[in-house]
Amino acid sequence: MAQKRTFSGKRVLITGASQGIGRALVETAVKRGARVLAVARSIDLLESLAQDLKNQGFGIEILQADIANPADRIKMTQAAQERFGGLDILINNAGIGATGHFADTTPDTLRSIMETNFFGTTETTRAFLPILQLGDKPAIVNISSIVGRRALPARGLYSASKFAVEGWSQAIRAELSKDGIDVIVINPGLTQTNFSQNMLEQKAKIQLDHLRGMTSEEVAEQTIRAIERGKNNLYLTTRGKLLLLFARFAPAVIDFFAKRRVRKLFAEEIAQRQQQRKQITVPNSLKDHVAG
């Protein structure tokens, strides 16, 4: 278990803070009394967020930065020092995605996803470690995904990046215990955000109905509660929890239904390939050789 903590007076930096879960995390944390530095690539959306909160009587700090950019990671640490005098909680929320079956995707897409979701997260954390070591009940909070624990067809690239985050988080949780730094992993399921609209690619034949998921505000509230209560891991949505339950005790069942769904979606392609196989003729020279 991690340490229990309150957000009142805590210095918090949240990446990917301009939209969706990130924006909701900013709103929830600041209303709990935290001092928040909201970071994202879009300065316009950050300014809109800051104005909305100002209208409600709350103030935040904002910073335009891309976690995949080494210079911007340095800028984030400098901003935390200059504006807050340090940092207590780092919430690694920024991420990008893509859908599509592996054979139809490109190496560049995979590298872009890993650069932000994994390397951006790990190297932002590395940059903040000396600052967090001096924080008050410090914590690193990694926003991962249910598909970072059990992959689904057409989400392989995104899943790979989140599996990497999960493995790395497990390792540093033990390593950073000597510094009093907690490592908390949040695994949302389907969430009602515009994340799917901002994906690098959308080539999946298997669609997921995000409108049936949790709202960003619900995810943010449960995330903040998990941090306050000292949870190491949080798994969200009933469907997400059921998926992990089957993945643990009956993984073959998930494989069976996933394969069946893929084969159904690609039935026409499968039929065409089978027809092509039938049309392949054995070369005459080979026939003669066999006959002899």
Whole-number pLDDT of residue 194: 66
Tell me which of 18, 144, 161, 169 is the catalytic residue.
144
CA Rg, the chain, in Å? 23
The predicted pLDDT at position 280 comes to: 78
What integer pLDDT is reported at residue 265 of this predicted model?
Answer: 77
Compute the mean pLDDT over every residue in the chain, rounded to the nearest whole number. 90
pLDDT of residue 99: 84
What pLDDT sits at residue 269?
77
Q: What is the pLDDT of residues 16-68, one digit of tens each?
A: 999 999 999 999 999 999 999 999 999 999 999 999 999 999 999 999 999 99
Fold topology of 11-249 = Rossmann fold (3.40.50)
Q: What is the pLDDT of residue 262?
A: 82
pLDDT value at residue 208: 58
**Residue-level pLDDT at 292:** 46
Angle at 164 between CA 161 and CA 169, to 5 degrees: 130
The question of whether 144 is a catalytic residue gets the answer yes
pTM of the model: 0.89
Structure tokens at 195: 């994340």
DSSP 8-state class, residue 180:
T
Instruction: Tell me the CA distances in angstroms from 256 to 48, 86, 176, 241, 263, one per residue in order.
Output: 46, 50, 40, 19, 11
pLDDT at 237: 93
Q: With contact defined as beta carbons under 8 Å apart, do 21 and 220 qualify?
A: yes
In the predicted model, residues of the chain with pLDDT beneath 50 are 286-287, 290, 292
pLDDT of res. 13 = 98
pLDDT tens profile 261-279: 888 877 777 788 888 888 8
Looking at 10, 145, 162, 216, which residue is catalytic? 162
Alpha-carbon distance values, 288 to 280, 281, 291 (Å): 17, 13, 5
For the chain, what are the domain ranges?
Answer: 11-249, 252-292
CA distance 184 to 230: 8
The amino acid present at 6, given as its one-letter code, is T
The amino acid present at 31, given as its one-letter code, is: K
pLDDT of residue 211: 53
> Which residues, including other chains, have CB under 8 Å from residue 250's CB and lie 6 or more apart?
none
Q: How far is CA 67 from its chain centroid?
A: 13
pLDDT at position 266: 78
Q: What is the DSSP letter of 198?
A: G
pLDDT at 212: 65
**Which one of the listed residues 10, 18, 145, 158 is annotated catalytic?**
158
